[in-house]
Chain A
Amino acid sequence: MLKDFSIAAHRRAVQVVSLILLHSSWGPEFKWLCNPVLSCHSCVLAWFACPVGVFIHYSGYHLFPFMALGMTLLLGVLIGRLLCGWVCPFGLLQDLLYRLPGPKVELPAWTAYIKYPVLVLLVFLLPFLLTEQTWFSFCRICPASALQVTLPNLFRTDFNGFNAAAAVKIAVLMLVLLGAVVSSRSFCKVLCPIGALLAPLNFISLWKIRVPTQNCVSCGKCETACPSRVAPSSRIARDIPPNRDLDCIVCHECQTTCPHPKPREKTVTNP
Protein backbone atom coordinates (compact mmCIF):
# COMPACT_ATOMS: atom_id res chain seq x y z
CA MET A 1 0.00 0.00 0.00
CA LEU A 2 2.86 2.33 0.89
CA LYS A 3 4.37 1.57 -2.50
CA ASP A 4 1.25 3.00 -4.14
CA PHE A 5 1.52 6.15 -2.09
CA SER A 6 2.85 8.29 -4.95
CA ILE A 7 4.96 11.40 -4.65
CA ALA A 8 1.85 13.45 -5.49
CA ALA A 9 0.12 11.95 -2.46
CA HIS A 10 3.23 12.56 -0.36
CA ARG A 11 3.25 16.16 -1.50
CA ARG A 12 -0.40 16.62 -0.65
CA ALA A 13 0.17 15.08 2.78
CA VAL A 14 3.14 17.39 3.42
CA GLN A 15 1.08 20.39 2.28
CA VAL A 16 -1.76 19.52 4.67
CA VAL A 17 0.60 18.85 7.58
CA SER A 18 2.41 22.14 6.83
CA LEU A 19 -0.88 24.01 6.76
CA ILE A 20 -1.71 22.68 10.20
CA LEU A 21 1.76 23.12 11.67
CA LEU A 22 2.27 26.64 10.30
CA HIS A 23 -1.02 27.77 11.81
CA SER A 24 -1.08 26.12 15.17
CA SER A 25 0.66 28.61 17.41
CA TRP A 26 -1.09 28.49 20.77
CA GLY A 27 1.07 31.19 22.31
CA PRO A 28 4.78 30.86 21.61
CA GLU A 29 5.94 32.25 18.30
CA PHE A 30 9.03 32.24 16.12
CA LYS A 31 8.18 35.48 14.40
CA TRP A 32 11.81 36.57 14.40
CA LEU A 33 12.22 33.89 11.75
CA CYS A 34 10.97 34.43 8.20
CA ASN A 35 9.42 31.46 6.49
CA PRO A 36 9.25 32.18 2.75
CA VAL A 37 5.72 30.95 2.06
CA LEU A 38 2.57 33.02 1.60
CA SER A 39 1.09 32.95 5.07
CA CYS A 40 0.16 36.15 6.89
CA HIS A 41 2.12 36.75 10.08
CA SER A 42 -0.77 38.81 11.43
CA CYS A 43 -2.79 35.61 11.70
CA VAL A 44 -3.10 34.83 15.41
CA LEU A 45 -2.19 31.20 14.77
CA ALA A 46 0.93 31.91 12.68
CA TRP A 47 4.30 30.77 14.01
CA PHE A 48 6.59 32.59 11.61
CA ALA A 49 7.03 35.98 9.98
CA CYS A 50 6.16 36.56 6.34
CA PRO A 51 9.24 37.84 4.47
CA VAL A 52 7.10 40.10 2.27
CA GLY A 53 5.52 41.81 5.28
CA VAL A 54 8.93 42.20 6.92
CA PHE A 55 10.52 43.60 3.75
CA ILE A 56 7.66 46.11 3.41
CA HIS A 57 8.16 47.31 6.98
CA TYR A 58 11.94 47.47 6.71
CA SER A 59 11.60 49.43 3.46
CA GLY A 60 9.35 51.86 5.31
CA TYR A 61 11.88 52.07 8.16
CA HIS A 62 14.68 52.68 5.59
CA LEU A 63 16.61 49.76 7.06
CA PHE A 64 18.25 46.77 5.44
CA PRO A 65 16.47 43.51 6.37
CA PHE A 66 19.54 41.48 7.32
CA MET A 67 17.85 38.56 9.08
CA ALA A 68 14.81 38.35 6.79
CA LEU A 69 16.85 38.48 3.59
CA GLY A 70 19.49 36.14 5.00
CA MET A 71 16.91 33.50 5.89
CA THR A 72 15.10 33.79 2.55
CA LEU A 73 18.38 33.58 0.66
CA LEU A 74 19.57 30.62 2.72
CA LEU A 75 16.43 28.58 2.09
CA GLY A 76 16.32 29.67 -1.56
CA VAL A 77 19.88 28.49 -2.21
CA LEU A 78 19.34 25.21 -0.40
CA ILE A 79 15.97 24.17 -1.84
CA GLY A 80 14.87 26.78 -4.40
CA ARG A 81 11.09 26.97 -4.73
CA LEU A 82 10.51 23.61 -3.05
CA LEU A 83 8.62 25.45 -0.30
CA CYS A 84 6.20 26.80 -2.93
CA GLY A 85 5.33 23.31 -4.08
CA TRP A 86 5.38 21.44 -0.79
CA VAL A 87 4.78 23.84 2.10
CA CYS A 88 2.97 27.01 0.97
CA PRO A 89 -0.63 26.90 2.28
CA PHE A 90 -1.81 29.24 -0.45
CA GLY A 91 -0.27 26.89 -3.00
CA LEU A 92 -2.27 24.02 -1.50
CA LEU A 93 -5.45 26.06 -1.79
CA GLN A 94 -4.72 26.78 -5.46
CA ASP A 95 -3.91 23.12 -6.16
CA LEU A 96 -7.26 22.09 -4.67
CA LEU A 97 -9.22 24.80 -6.48
CA TYR A 98 -7.72 23.80 -9.82
CA ARG A 99 -9.21 20.34 -9.38
CA LEU A 100 -12.71 21.81 -9.54
CA PRO A 101 -14.43 21.09 -12.86
CA GLY A 102 -14.82 23.90 -15.35
CA PRO A 103 -13.02 25.61 -18.22
CA LYS A 104 -9.24 25.68 -17.91
CA VAL A 105 -6.98 28.22 -19.60
CA GLU A 106 -3.26 28.65 -20.13
CA LEU A 107 -1.97 32.07 -19.20
CA PRO A 108 0.25 33.83 -21.75
CA ALA A 109 3.96 33.41 -20.99
CA TRP A 110 4.51 37.14 -20.47
CA THR A 111 2.21 37.16 -17.42
CA ALA A 112 4.88 35.24 -15.49
CA TYR A 113 6.98 38.43 -15.47
CA ILE A 114 4.34 40.57 -13.73
CA LYS A 115 5.46 39.34 -10.30
CA TYR A 116 8.87 41.00 -10.60
CA PRO A 117 7.59 44.60 -10.87
CA VAL A 118 5.07 43.69 -8.15
CA LEU A 119 7.98 42.69 -5.92
CA VAL A 120 10.05 45.77 -6.70
CA LEU A 121 7.20 48.31 -6.52
CA LEU A 122 4.80 47.01 -3.87
CA VAL A 123 7.34 45.39 -1.55
CA PHE A 124 10.40 47.62 -1.76
CA LEU A 125 10.09 50.90 -3.67
CA LEU A 126 6.68 52.32 -2.76
CA PRO A 127 6.89 51.42 0.95
CA PHE A 128 10.38 52.99 0.96
CA LEU A 129 9.05 56.20 -0.57
CA LEU A 130 5.62 56.35 1.12
CA THR A 131 6.28 54.57 4.47
CA GLU A 132 5.24 51.04 5.41
CA GLN A 133 1.65 52.11 6.13
CA THR A 134 1.05 53.12 2.51
CA TRP A 135 -1.99 51.85 0.65
CA PHE A 136 0.36 50.90 -2.16
CA SER A 137 2.04 47.93 -0.54
CA PHE A 138 1.50 44.25 -1.22
CA CYS A 139 0.08 43.64 2.27
CA ARG A 140 -2.91 45.80 1.31
CA ILE A 141 -3.87 43.43 -1.49
CA CYS A 142 -2.43 40.18 -0.15
CA PRO A 143 -4.96 37.36 -0.68
CA ALA A 144 -3.45 35.29 2.15
CA SER A 145 -3.93 38.18 4.52
CA ALA A 146 -7.52 38.57 3.31
CA LEU A 147 -8.20 34.89 3.92
CA GLN A 148 -6.40 34.49 7.24
CA VAL A 149 -6.97 37.87 8.86
CA THR A 150 -9.47 40.17 7.14
CA LEU A 151 -12.30 37.66 6.67
CA PRO A 152 -12.06 36.10 10.16
CA ASN A 153 -11.98 39.60 11.68
CA LEU A 154 -15.05 40.63 9.70
CA PHE A 155 -16.97 37.55 10.80
CA ARG A 156 -15.83 38.09 14.38
CA THR A 157 -17.10 41.68 14.38
CA ASP A 158 -20.33 40.99 12.43
CA PHE A 159 -18.92 42.97 9.50
CA ASN A 160 -18.67 46.15 11.57
CA GLY A 161 -15.10 46.65 10.46
CA PHE A 162 -15.95 46.47 6.78
CA ASN A 163 -14.30 49.37 4.97
CA ALA A 164 -12.67 50.21 1.64
CA ALA A 165 -9.39 48.48 2.59
CA ALA A 166 -11.22 45.27 3.47
CA ALA A 167 -13.29 45.49 0.28
CA VAL A 168 -10.15 45.81 -1.87
CA LYS A 169 -8.50 42.85 -0.14
CA ILE A 170 -11.53 40.62 -0.48
CA ALA A 171 -12.02 41.61 -4.13
CA VAL A 172 -8.41 40.68 -4.87
CA LEU A 173 -8.85 37.40 -2.98
CA MET A 174 -11.94 36.55 -5.05
CA LEU A 175 -10.10 37.27 -8.30
CA VAL A 176 -7.13 35.17 -7.22
CA LEU A 177 -9.35 32.25 -6.19
CA LEU A 178 -11.24 32.46 -9.47
CA GLY A 179 -7.91 32.53 -11.30
CA ALA A 180 -6.81 29.42 -9.40
CA VAL A 181 -9.90 27.53 -10.58
CA VAL A 182 -9.30 28.26 -14.25
CA SER A 183 -5.50 28.27 -14.39
CA SER A 184 -3.07 26.08 -12.46
CA ARG A 185 -1.09 28.00 -9.81
CA SER A 186 -1.96 31.29 -11.53
CA PHE A 187 -1.22 33.44 -8.47
CA CYS A 188 2.19 31.81 -7.95
CA LYS A 189 3.02 32.36 -11.59
CA VAL A 190 1.74 35.90 -12.01
CA LEU A 191 1.68 37.81 -8.73
CA CYS A 192 3.45 36.10 -5.84
CA PRO A 193 6.32 38.31 -4.59
CA ILE A 194 7.82 35.42 -2.59
CA GLY A 195 7.87 33.40 -5.80
CA ALA A 196 9.60 36.32 -7.50
CA LEU A 197 12.22 36.40 -4.74
CA LEU A 198 12.90 32.67 -4.87
CA ALA A 199 12.55 32.17 -8.64
CA PRO A 200 16.10 33.20 -9.68
CA LEU A 201 17.51 30.93 -6.95
CA ASN A 202 15.97 27.93 -8.74
CA PHE A 203 18.86 28.19 -11.22
CA ILE A 204 21.53 27.52 -8.63
CA SER A 205 19.70 25.77 -5.78
CA LEU A 206 21.35 22.66 -4.39
CA TRP A 207 18.05 20.75 -4.73
CA LYS A 208 17.87 19.07 -8.11
CA ILE A 209 15.20 16.96 -9.74
CA ARG A 210 16.88 14.13 -11.57
CA VAL A 211 15.28 12.59 -14.62
CA PRO A 212 17.63 10.43 -16.73
CA THR A 213 18.07 12.17 -20.08
CA GLN A 214 19.02 9.10 -22.04
CA ASN A 215 15.65 7.51 -21.35
CA CYS A 216 13.51 10.40 -22.63
CA VAL A 217 11.20 9.29 -25.42
CA SER A 218 9.52 12.71 -25.72
CA CYS A 219 6.17 11.28 -24.65
CA GLY A 220 5.14 14.65 -23.18
CA LYS A 221 3.70 13.17 -19.99
CA CYS A 222 5.85 15.47 -17.85
CA GLU A 223 4.52 18.49 -19.75
CA THR A 224 0.90 17.69 -18.93
CA ALA A 225 1.68 16.73 -15.33
CA CYS A 226 3.57 19.96 -14.58
CA PRO A 227 1.31 22.27 -12.52
CA SER A 228 3.41 25.29 -13.44
CA ARG A 229 3.46 24.47 -17.18
CA VAL A 230 7.18 25.14 -17.45
CA ALA A 231 7.92 22.59 -20.18
CA PRO A 232 10.28 20.33 -18.20
CA SER A 233 11.01 18.08 -21.20
CA SER A 234 13.01 20.82 -22.91
CA ARG A 235 15.48 20.81 -20.02
CA ILE A 236 15.41 17.05 -19.55
CA ALA A 237 16.42 16.70 -23.21
CA ARG A 238 19.44 18.95 -22.58
CA ASP A 239 20.43 17.03 -19.43
CA ILE A 240 19.50 19.98 -17.22
CA PRO A 241 17.49 19.39 -14.03
CA PRO A 242 13.86 20.30 -14.82
CA ASN A 243 13.67 22.56 -11.77
CA ARG A 244 16.14 24.97 -13.36
CA ASP A 245 13.28 27.25 -14.35
CA LEU A 246 11.98 30.47 -12.81
CA ASP A 247 8.45 29.17 -12.33
CA CYS A 248 9.14 25.57 -11.34
CA ILE A 249 7.70 24.86 -7.88
CA VAL A 250 9.84 21.71 -7.49
CA CYS A 251 6.82 19.43 -7.08
CA HIS A 252 8.65 16.45 -8.70
CA GLU A 253 5.58 15.59 -10.80
CA CYS A 254 7.71 15.45 -13.97
CA GLN A 255 10.00 12.92 -12.34
CA THR A 256 7.22 10.69 -11.08
CA THR A 257 5.14 10.73 -14.27
CA CYS A 258 8.14 9.82 -16.41
CA PRO A 259 7.43 6.33 -17.79
CA HIS A 260 11.15 5.58 -18.08
CA PRO A 261 12.70 6.90 -14.89
CA LYS A 262 15.28 4.16 -14.46
CA PRO A 263 18.49 4.30 -16.46
CA ARG A 264 18.68 1.76 -19.23
CA GLU A 265 21.10 -1.06 -18.68
CA LYS A 266 24.26 -0.65 -20.64
CA THR A 267 24.74 -3.23 -23.34
CA VAL A 268 28.19 -4.65 -23.50
CA THR A 269 29.39 -5.47 -26.97
CA ASN A 270 32.31 -7.62 -27.80
CA PRO A 271 35.19 -5.79 -29.48
Chain B
Amino acid sequence: MTRTAKERIAAALLLVMALVLLLAGGMRSYKVYDRSDGEFGLLTFTRISDSELVVDATFSGVERQGDRLYTTYDRNAPRGKRSCPT
Protein backbone atom coordinates (compact mmCIF):
# COMPACT_ATOMS: atom_id res chain seq x y z
CA MET B 1 0.00 0.00 0.00
CA THR B 2 1.40 3.40 -0.97
CA ARG B 3 1.87 6.28 1.45
CA THR B 4 -0.88 8.27 -0.26
CA ALA B 5 -3.35 5.40 0.10
CA LYS B 6 -2.55 5.09 3.82
CA GLU B 7 -3.01 8.83 4.26
CA ARG B 8 -6.37 8.70 2.48
CA ILE B 9 -7.60 5.79 4.63
CA ALA B 10 -6.53 7.54 7.84
CA ALA B 11 -8.14 10.79 6.67
CA ALA B 12 -11.38 8.99 5.79
CA LEU B 13 -11.48 7.26 9.19
CA LEU B 14 -10.86 10.50 11.05
CA LEU B 15 -13.41 12.30 8.92
CA VAL B 16 -16.01 9.67 9.84
CA MET B 17 -14.95 9.98 13.50
CA ALA B 18 -15.38 13.76 13.35
CA LEU B 19 -18.85 13.40 11.85
CA VAL B 20 -19.80 10.79 14.48
CA LEU B 21 -18.63 13.17 17.22
CA LEU B 22 -20.67 16.02 15.75
CA LEU B 23 -23.71 13.76 15.44
CA ALA B 24 -23.28 12.46 18.98
CA GLY B 25 -22.86 16.04 20.21
CA GLY B 26 -26.04 17.02 18.40
CA MET B 27 -27.98 14.31 20.21
CA ARG B 28 -26.53 14.78 23.70
CA SER B 29 -28.12 16.83 26.43
CA TYR B 30 -27.10 17.69 29.96
CA LYS B 31 -28.93 18.49 33.17
CA VAL B 32 -27.98 21.90 34.52
CA TYR B 33 -29.28 22.51 38.04
CA ASP B 34 -30.47 25.81 39.50
CA ARG B 35 -28.55 27.20 42.45
CA SER B 36 -31.57 27.98 44.59
CA ASP B 37 -33.30 25.15 46.38
CA GLY B 38 -36.78 24.66 45.08
CA GLU B 39 -39.84 24.05 47.14
CA PHE B 40 -39.28 21.40 49.84
CA GLY B 41 -35.59 21.35 48.94
CA LEU B 42 -36.26 19.84 45.55
CA LEU B 43 -33.62 20.53 42.94
CA THR B 44 -34.77 22.01 39.69
CA PHE B 45 -32.85 21.60 36.49
CA THR B 46 -32.88 22.54 32.83
CA ARG B 47 -31.85 20.24 30.01
CA ILE B 48 -29.43 21.88 27.60
CA SER B 49 -27.88 20.57 24.40
CA ASP B 50 -24.15 20.12 23.81
CA SER B 51 -24.07 23.20 21.61
CA GLU B 52 -25.72 25.26 24.37
CA LEU B 53 -23.11 23.95 26.81
CA VAL B 54 -20.37 25.06 24.39
CA VAL B 55 -21.87 28.57 24.51
CA ASP B 56 -22.04 28.37 28.32
CA ALA B 57 -18.38 27.35 28.35
CA THR B 58 -17.44 30.60 26.63
CA PHE B 59 -18.55 32.72 29.58
CA SER B 60 -18.46 30.23 32.50
CA GLY B 61 -22.23 29.89 32.43
CA VAL B 62 -21.99 26.52 34.15
CA GLU B 63 -20.00 25.26 37.14
CA ARG B 64 -19.45 21.73 38.29
CA GLN B 65 -19.94 20.83 41.94
CA GLY B 66 -19.78 17.20 42.93
CA ASP B 67 -21.30 15.24 40.10
CA ARG B 68 -23.67 17.97 39.03
CA LEU B 69 -23.51 20.98 36.76
CA TYR B 70 -24.98 24.18 38.19
CA THR B 71 -25.99 27.25 36.25
CA THR B 72 -24.30 30.52 37.16
CA TYR B 73 -27.04 32.76 35.76
CA ASP B 74 -30.78 33.00 35.42
CA ARG B 75 -31.67 30.99 32.35
CA ASN B 76 -35.16 32.47 32.17
CA ALA B 77 -33.86 36.02 31.78
CA PRO B 78 -33.32 37.30 28.23
CA ARG B 79 -29.77 36.69 27.05
CA GLY B 80 -27.49 39.26 25.57
CA LYS B 81 -23.77 39.46 25.10
CA ARG B 82 -21.76 37.97 27.93
CA SER B 83 -18.77 39.58 29.51
CA CYS B 84 -15.47 37.88 30.22
CA PRO B 85 -15.47 35.88 33.48
CA THR B 86 -11.70 36.17 33.94
Q: How close is A220's CB to chain B, nearest CB, in angstroms?
A: 25
For B72-86 the 0/1 string (1 means CB < 8 A from A) is 000000000111111
Q: Within the assembled complex, what's the spacing in Å between the Cα atoms of A74 and B14?
A: 8
* Contact A66–B22 (Cβ < 8 Å): yes
Q: Within the assembled complex, what's the spacing in Å between the Cα atoms of A240 and B23?
A: 34
* Contact A204–B84 (Cβ < 8 Å): no
* Contact B55–A31 (Cβ < 8 Å): yes
Q: Name the residue of chain B whose CB is nearest to the CB of A61.
A: B64
Report chain A residues within 8 Å CB of B83. 42, 44
Please tell me which one of the listed residues A44, A70, A139 contacts residue B21 in the complex, with CB atoms under 8 A apart: A70
Report chain B residues within 8 Å CB of A71. 18, 22
* Contact A77–B18 (Cβ < 8 Å): yes
Cβ-based interface call for A49 (8 A)? yes
Interface centre among B3, B52, B53, B69 (most CB of A within 10 A): B53
Cβ-based interface call for B57 (8 A)? yes
Say which one of A51-59, A81-89, A183-191 lies at the interface with B.
Answer: A51-59
Report chain B residues within 8 Å CB of A203. 7, 10
* Contact B10–A204 (Cβ < 8 Å): yes
Report chain A residues within 8 Å CB of B43. none
Q: Name the residue of chain B whose CB is nearest to the CB of A166.
A: B86
* Contact B7–A204 (Cβ < 8 Å): yes
Q: How close is A47's CB to chain B, nearest CB, in angstroms?
A: 11
* Contact A32–B54 (Cβ < 8 Å): yes
Within 8 A of A (CB), among B22-45: 22, 24-26, 28, 30
Q: How close is A205's CB to chain B, nearest CB, in angstroms?
A: 7
Please tell me which one of the listed residues A27, A49, A165, A201 contacts residue B58 in the complex, with CB atoms under 8 A apart: A49
* Contact B7–A49 (Cβ < 8 Å): no
For A62-90 the 0/1 string (1 means CB < 8 A from B) is 11011111110110111000000000000
Q: Within the assembled complex, what's the spacing in Å between the Cα atoms of A39 and B20?
A: 26
Please tell me which one of the listed residues B3, B11, B54, B56 contacts residue A67 in the complex, with CB atoms under 8 A apart: B54
Cβ-based interface call for A257 (8 A)? no
Cβ-based interface call for A206 (8 A)? yes
List residues of A whose CB falls within 8 A of some B CB: 27, 29, 31-34, 40-44, 49-50, 53-54, 57-58, 60-63, 65-71, 73-74, 76-78, 131-133, 139-140, 145, 149-150, 153, 165, 201, 203-206, 240
New contact pairs (14) apart from A31-B58, A145-B84, CB-CB < 8 Å: A27-B81, A32-B51, A42-B84, A53-B58, A54-B54, A61-B64, A70-B22, A71-B22, A131-B63, A132-B57, A132-B60, A145-B86, A165-B86, A205-B11
Can you offer 16 A-B residue contacts whose CB atoms are under 8 A? A32-B54, A49-B57, A54-B57, A61-B53, A67-B50, A68-B25, A70-B19, A70-B21, A71-B18, A77-B15, A145-B84, A165-B86, A201-B14, A203-B10, A204-B10, A206-B11
List residues of B whose CB falls within 8 A of some A CB: 3, 7, 10-11, 14-15, 17-22, 24-26, 28, 30, 50-60, 62-64, 69, 81-86
The 8 A-B residue pairs with the shortest CB-CB distance in the complex, in nearest-first order: A66-B25, A70-B21, A67-B25, A57-B57, A32-B51, A42-B84, A70-B22, A73-B18
